[in-house]
Amino acid sequence: MKQLKLTGFVIFFFFLTESLTLPTKPQDVDDVSITQKFIEDNIGYITIIAFAQYIQEASFEEVEMLVKAMTEYRDKCLADMTLPECSKLANDVLLENICAMEGLPQKHNFSHCCHKADFERKHCFLHNKKADVGFLPPLPTLDPEEKCQTYKNNRESFLNNYIYEVSRRNPFVFVPTLLTAAARFEEMTKICCEEQEKANCFRTKAETFIQYLKALSSYQKNVCGALMKFGPQILKSINIAVLSQKFPKIEFKELISLLEDVSSKYDGCCEGDVVQCIHGRSKVMSHICSKQDSISSKIKECCEKKIPERGECIIYSNKDDRPNNLPLREAKFTESENVCEERDADQENFMAEFLYQYSRRHPELSTPELLRIAGVYEDLLRECCNTKNPPDCYRHAENKFNETTEKSLKIVQRECEHFQILGKDDLKYHYLINLTKLAPQLSTEELTFLGKEMVTALTTCCTLSEEFACVDNLVDLVLGELCGINENRSINPAVDHCCKTNFAFRRSCFEGLEADKTYVPPSTSQDLFIFHADLCQAHNEELQRKKDRFLVNLVKLKPELTGVELQSLLADFTNVVKKCCQAQGPEACFREEGPKLSAKSQVA
C-alpha cells in the first residue's frame, strides 16, 4: 500500500493492456512509470474491492483465492503481452475468474449472471449488488492494542481484511474512494498505534474518516441513481451545474469538452468497472490541468502534485472567483427577441448553456435548485413559444426563478426551525417516525440510517451562512439513499412516484407525501416487547441504537399512532430499561414490564 498516500487515486488503467493512447507528453510518460509500480504493488487491493463489491457474501478466504488467480494472470501478461488472453478487458477477466471459481456461483446465487456474456453479464453483476447490508454480520471491532499488534505482525493481511470488510458494506462506492479510504485508514493506524491513549486517538480520528467515506458514498450513489433512473441527460445537467459553480470562468465550449470525459468516468464508475473508472478519473484531471489557465486560478498547486494526489486536491479546492466582467443576468435567455428560434435550432445545447450561465452566476444555490430552475425555464419556454408574443411571455422568467427558489427556501427554513425547536434527539425521532410512515417497507437498518442522516444534514448546515445550499444538497443526498441506485427498486407506489418522476423536484414531491396507505402491518408484535438484561450492558451509543430500532419497529407495528403517542411509548420503553437495570433481577423485571408496555401500545 506504499503508493496510496492519502489520495490513492492511482492510475490503474494500463493493467491488463487496456486499449489506450500511447504517451506523447512527459507527464504521460511519468503516468506509465507510476502505473507500472502501482500494478506491481497493488493489484491485490483492486481485486479485493471489485470482488467484495460484486459478491458481498463471499468469505475473505474466497476473496484471497481470486486475488491469487488475478495476480498469476497479471504476472503471465507482464511476462508476455502477446498472449491472446492478455488482450481482454480487465473487468471481463475479473468476472470470468469469479465465475470460474468452483462452486462459488451456486453457493452465492449468481450463476444466472455467469450464463450471460459481455454487457449483459456486467449489468447482471451490477444488479446483484445489495445496498441494504443488514444481511452481513456487524463490522468486526478489535481492541486498540490488539488492532495495533495485528497490524505490526502482518500489515498486508490486516489491510486486506479491512478493505474487504469496508468494500462489501459499500458496494456502490467508487474504487478510487475506497483506495483513498484504505490509505487514510493505514495512516490513522500508524499514528494511533504510537500514542499512549490509543483508544481515544482511534475514536477521534475515525469520526472524520467515517464522515469522509459516508459523504462521498452518498454523493456517488445519488449521481449513479440519477444516471440509472433518468439516463445520461440528467447526469450531464448535474455536472454542468457543479462544474459551472466550481469553475465560473470556464468557457461554455470548454465545459462541453470536459463533460465528455466526466460522463465517460461515471459510466465506468457507476457500472463497477474498476479500470474504466480510474482511467476516467485520471482523464478528467489531466484535461482540467492541461487547461487550467482557462478553467480555474485555484488549482495550480494541485496540478503540480503527482498524479495519485492531484485528483483529491482538485475536488477539494475552493470554488473559483466569479469573473469581474460577468453581468448579473444573461440577457440572451430572457430579453432577446429570438429565444424561441435559438432554442428550436438546438434545444439540448441551448438548455445546457442556460444552466451553465445561471449556475456560474449563482454560487449560493444548491445543485438541485439549479436543476429546478432549468426545469422551470424549459417549461416556461414550452408555453411561451406557443403564444402570439413569446418575448412578452418569457421576459418575466426571473420572477418565476425567484418564486421557485423562495418555495425551496421556505422548506429549508422550516426544517432548520424544527432543528432549533426540537433539538438533536427529538428531531431524530421526528424523522424516524415520518420516514417509517412514508416507507415502512424499508428495513429497520435503512430507516434508522436515513433518520440519522437527516439530522446530520440539519445539524451540519442550519448554523452556516450558506444554510440553504448546504441543507438542500445534503437532504437531496438522503433522498438519493432512500430512492436507491437501481432503476428497478420498488418501495411503495407513492414513494416510487417521487423517486422516478422528476429528479430535480423529488424534494417537493416528498414534502407532499403522507403515510403509506397500501401498507399492511404485521399481525403480531414479533417479539418487539420482549426485552432482556443485555440492554443493561449496552453502552450509551449501543443503547441509543436499540431505542431507534424500537421506535422504527413500533411505527411499523402501529402506523396509525400519532407522533406524540409513539414518542410517549418510546419514553415508556426508556423508563422500563432504567427501572429494570436498577432492579435486583433485571431479567424478571423485563418479563413483567414488557407485556405491560405491549398492552399500553394497544390502547394508545
Q: What's the pLDDT tens digit per position in 451-491?
A: 999 999 999 999 888 889 999 999 999 999 999 887 778 89
Q: What is the pLDDT of residue 35?
A: 41
Q: Tell me: the pLDDT tens digits for 373-394? A: 999 999 999 999 999 999 999 9
DSSP letters of 395-450?
Answer: TTHHHHHHHHHHHHHHHHHHHHHHHHHHHHHHHHHHHHHHHHHH-TTS-HHHHHHH
pLDDT at 290: 87
Question: Nearest 10 degrees: CA dihedral of 207, 177, 448, 430?
Answer: 80
**Closest of 575, 599, 566 to residue 435, by C-alpha:** 566
What pLDDT score was predicted for residue 575? Answer: 96
Confidence of residue 20 (pLDDT cuts 50, 70, 90): very low
Residue 38: its pLDDT value, please?
A: 56
Gap between the Cα atoms of 361 and 365, Å rounded? 10
The reported pLDDT for the residue numbered 237 is 96
Cell digits for 577? Answer: 430499561
3-class secondary structure for 520-537?
Answer: CCCCCCCCCCCCCCHHHH
Q: What is the pLDDT of residue 22?
A: 26
Phi, psi torsion values for 268, nearest 5 degrees: -70, -45
Give residue 15's pLDDT: 26
Burial group, residue 234, by CB count within 10 angstroms (0-12, 13-18, 19+) = middle
More confidently predicted of 35 and 406: 406
CB atoms within 10 A of CB 296: 23
Which among 401, 473, 478 is positioned nearest to 439, based on CA atoms?
Answer: 478
pLDDT at 28: 44
Q: Mean pLDDT score of the chain, rounded to an integer?
A: 87
pLDDT at site 314 = 85
**Is a pLDDT exceeding 80 seen at residue 5?**
no
Q: Rounded to whole angstroms, how far apart are CA atoms 401 and 375?
A: 10
State the pLDDT at residue 21: 26
User: What is the rounded end-to-end Cα distance, in angstroms, of the chain?
Assistant: 57
Estimate the crossing angle of helix 307-315 against helix 26-54, to 10 degrees. 70
Residue 438: predicted pLDDT: 97
∠ CA 564-568-572 to the nearest 5 degrees? 170
**Exposure pattern of 457-470 as b/e (b: 16+ CB <10 Å)?**
bbeebbeeeebbbb
pLDDT higher at 550 or 31: 550
Q: What mean pLDDT is predicted for residues 433-442?
A: 96
Would you say 249 and 295 are in contact if contact means Cβ atoms under 8 Å apart?
yes
Higher pLDDT, 18 or 263: 263
CA 354 – CA 54 distance, rounded (Å) = 39
For residue range 516-525, list pLDDT tens digits in order: 999 999 988 8
Cell 430535480: give the residue. 504
pLDDT tens sequence across 399-417: 999 999 999 999 999 999 9
Question: By percentage, how much of the chain surpasses pLDDT 90?
Answer: 61
27 pLDDT higher than 50: no
Tell me how far apart the alpha carbons of residues 217 and 209 are, in angstroms, rounded to a whole number.
12
**Maximal C-alpha separation, the chain:** 85
- Distance, in Å, from the CA atom of 592 to the CA atom of 585, rounded to the nearest integer, reads 11
State residue 142 phi and psi, 5-degree precision: -115, 150
| Residue 2 confidence (pLDDT) | 35
C-alpha distances out from residue 23 to 14, 29, 32, 34, 574, Å: 11, 6, 8, 13, 65
Within 8 A by CB and 6+ apart from 142, the residues are: 150
Q: What DSSP string describes 304-343?
A: TS-HHHHHHHHHTSPPPPPPTT--SS-GGGTT-TTHHHHH
CB 156 within 8 A of CB 191: no
Report the distance separating Cα 170 and Cα 166, nearest Å. 6
Pick left, alpha or beta for residue 109 (phi over 0 → left; psi -120 to 50 → alpha; otherwise beta). left
Nearest-angstrom CA–CA distance, 201 and 422: 32
| pLDDT at residue 584 greater than cutoff 50 | yes
Provide the pLDDT confidence category of residue 3 given band limits of 50, 70 and 90: very low
What is the model's pLDDT at position 17? 28
CA distance linking residue 223 with residue 480, whole number of Å: 8
Q: Is residue 472 part of an annotated ligand binding site? A: no
Q: What is the pLDDT of residue 465?
A: 83
pLDDT greater than 90 at residue 284: no
Average pLDDT of span 45-60:
93
Q: 95-104, 179-188, 340-349 — which is least confidently predicted?
A: 179-188
Res 177 pLDDT > 90 = no
The predicted model gives 426-444 an average pLDDT of 96
3-state secondary structure of 6: coil
Q: Among residues of the chain, what percentage have pLDDT more than 70?
A: 92
- φ and ψ of 139, to 5 deg: -60, 125
**Span of 22-36, 494-508, 567-581 with lowest mean pLDDT:** 22-36
Q: What is the pTM of this model?
A: 0.87
Q: How far apart are CA 159 and CA 4, in angstroms?
A: 12
User: Using CA atoms, how far apart are residues 369 and 376, in angstroms rounded to an integer?
Assistant: 10
Task: Please tell me the predicted confidence (pLDDT) of residue 402.
Answer: 96
